[in-house]
Amino acid sequence: MSREETMVRKNSYLTDSIKDVDELPCSHPASVNIDVANCYYSLAKMIRPLLIVEIGCFIGFSTLHFVQALREQGFGKMISIDAFDWDVDAGNGQENRQNVALRYRKKAQVEDILTYVKGYSTEVYSQLESIIKNKIDLLYIDGDHSPRGVFHDFNTYYDDVRVGGYILLHDIYPAMCGEQGPRVLIDHLKSRGLIPRRLELLELPTRDGFGVAVIRKTSGDSLRVHLLGSGFGLIGNFIKKAARKLTGKYPCLRKRNFIGSEAIIQINVVDADSRTPVPGALLICPQRWDEKQVADPSGTVTLDHYLPNRYLWNISAENYHGVNEFLIDVAANKTVQQFTVMLERV
């Protein structure tokens, strides 16, 4: 690692306690990466909250960033809820996650600001209700990532978020993080018109591709959202029916999961002279954190669209000249969009 890289990494940490937690054997990938954590710190500094409630802290890496912002602003409290129901390797053998979180809370000297609550979020609500009722400025939901779990957390704590307050959701892009719940909740809020009638939404891409949603509450009306039936409910059933029709029209979409995606992008790589497919072509997208895709036997790459509507791709294949910065523009009103890039032989 170069001296410059060492300095950049050193300057990434707000405190020694945060640095120590980041370097624990168990910290990643379960904890958010340092860029996301620092984003949380900056967001809290801008919001200047009196009360932060976190659902799901793992070992407290994100937590320490929120709390550091509170300490620097000179006011505010934080409640972090976690079941702490399994052990981790924090460098001295297996120990419970709560012990790890409490140790670094003490080291960071934020015991007067941060309270850890052990238990499942919906079960401990009754003991917290009098403290948090209508007082939450920032609610961070990063616990049970199943659709049912995310909906339960949202419903349990939403009414206590003050008007003008914020709700953060982590892991909002299933194609990258493998989690469905946060995306299903966002799409459900959109389908009911709650976004933008009662809520404002900003989706932030992250270096690991998992994504963060920042939701601002603009209405004081009570709100409950529900999964209807099994799976994704009525909205999901509609999407599934649409998916079945699409897979009949576009065979290359078969067996691909795109429930909850806003669009499907197809990039077809072909020989410039013969117009035949170029299988095995390598596609790299810098905007998607150098995500790599390899063209299938039909020369096609199929992927979810989840970032801005313009993408740059670098495309290469054996025995062909590479194409750098192949730009595609994704239309907002189309479900499936195809693009073709032609490679010339060496």
Which pLDDT belongs to residue 246? Answer: 43
In a domain, 96, yes or no: yes
Instruction: Examine the domain organization and report whether 210 and 270 are in the same domain.
Output: no
pLDDT band at 240 (very low <50, low <70, confident <90, very high): very low
Instruction: Examine the domain organization and report whether 209 and 282 are in the same domain.
Output: no
Whether residue 66 is predicted with pLDDT greater than 90 in this model: the reply is yes
Indicate the residue among 217, 247, 274 that finishes a domain: 217
Q: In this predicted model, which residue has the larger pLDDT, 248 or 259?
A: 248
Q: In this predicted model, which residue has the larger pLDDT, 189 or 256?
A: 189
Q: What is the CATH number of the domain that holds 332?
A: 2.60.40.1120
The token pair that represents 239 in the structure block: 């999407």
Structural contact between residues 285 and 313, judged by C-beta atoms closer than 8 angstroms: yes
Which pLDDT belongs to residue 289? Answer: 67
Which pLDDT belongs to residue 1? Answer: 47
Whether residue 253 is predicted with pLDDT greater than 70 in this model: the reply is no
pLDDT band at 113 (very low <50, low <70, confident <90, very high): very high
Whether residue 225 is predicted with pLDDT greater than 50 in this model: the reply is yes
Q: In this predicted model, which residue has the larger pLDDT, 238 or 304?
A: 304
Indicate the residue among 184, 200, 217 that finishes a domain: 217
Asked which of 27-31, 120-124, 219-223, 298-302 is least confident by mean pLDDT, the reply is 27-31
**Mean pLDDT (whole number) for 127-150:** 95
Asked which of 69-73, 94-98, 174-178 is least confident by mean pLDDT, the reply is 174-178
Residue 144: Cβ-neighbour burial (10 angstroms; 0-12, 13-18, 19+): buried
pLDDT band at 230 (very low <50, low <70, confident <90, very high): very low
pLDDT in tens, 317-337: 999 999 988 888 777 667 788
Which pLDDT belongs to residue 23? Answer: 94
Instruction: Examine the domain organization and report whether 273 and 191 are in the same domain.
Output: no
Instruction: Examine the domain organization and report whether 72 and 162 are in the same domain.
Output: yes
In a domain, 245, yes or no: no
Residue 123: Cβ-neighbour burial (10 angstroms; 0-12, 13-18, 19+): exposed
Instruction: Examine the domain organization and report whether 73 and 167 are in the same domain.
Output: yes
Instruction: Examine the domain organization and report whether 277 and 130 are in the same domain.
Output: no
Whether residue 256 is predicted with pLDDT greater than 80 in this model: the reply is no
In a domain, 169, yes or no: yes
pLDDT band at 231 (very low <50, low <70, confident <90, very high): very low
Instruction: Examine the domain organization and report whether 271 and 198 are in the same domain.
Output: no
pLDDT band at 39 (very low <50, low <70, confident <90, very high): very high
Instruction: Examine the domain organization and report whether 111 and 10 are in the same domain.
Output: yes
Whether residue 254 is predicted with pLDDT greater than 80 in this model: the reply is no
CA torsion, points 303, 146, 164, 202, in degrees to nearest 10? Answer: -10
**Mean pLDDT (whole number) for 277-289:** 86
**Mean pLDDT (whole number) for 231-253:** 45
Instruction: Examine the domain organization and report whether 287 and 183 are in the same domain.
Output: no
**Mean pLDDT (whole number) for 66-85:** 95
3-class state of residue 152 by DSSP: helix
Which pLDDT belongs to residue 265? Answer: 86
pLDDT in tens, 126-135: 999 999 999 9
pLDDT band at 29 (very low <50, low <70, confident <90, very high): confident
In a domain, 223, yes or no: no
**CA neighbor of 179 nearest in space, from 217, 219, 142, 216:** 142
pLDDT band at 36 (very low <50, low <70, confident <90, very high): very high
Q: Kindly list the distances between the CA atom of residue 173 and the CA atoms of 182, 239, 263, in Å, as whole numbers in the listed order.
A: 8, 17, 13
Number of domains in the chain: 2
In a domain, 168, yes or no: yes
The pTM assigned to this predicted structure is 0.73
Instruction: Examine the domain organization and report whether 200 and 290 are in the same domain.
Output: no
In a domain, 85, yes or no: yes
**CA neighbor of 112 nearest in space, from 73, 77, 63, 65:** 77
Domain assignment of residue 64, given as a range: 3-217
**Mean pLDDT (whole number) for 190-218:** 93
Instruction: Examine the domain organization and report whether 70 and 153 are in the same domain.
Output: yes
Q: What is the CATH number of the domain that holds 120?
A: 3.40.50.150
Whether residue 81 is predicted with pLDDT greater than 70 in this model: the reply is yes
Indicate the residue among 162, 186, 217 that finishes a domain: 217
Whether residue 16 is predicted with pLDDT greater than 90 in this model: the reply is yes
Which pLDDT belongs to residue 309? Answer: 62
Whether residue 242 is predicted with pLDDT greater than 70 in this model: the reply is no
**β-strands 161-170, 136-141 pairing:** parallel
Instruction: Examine the domain organization and report whether 18 and 141 are in the same domain.
Output: yes
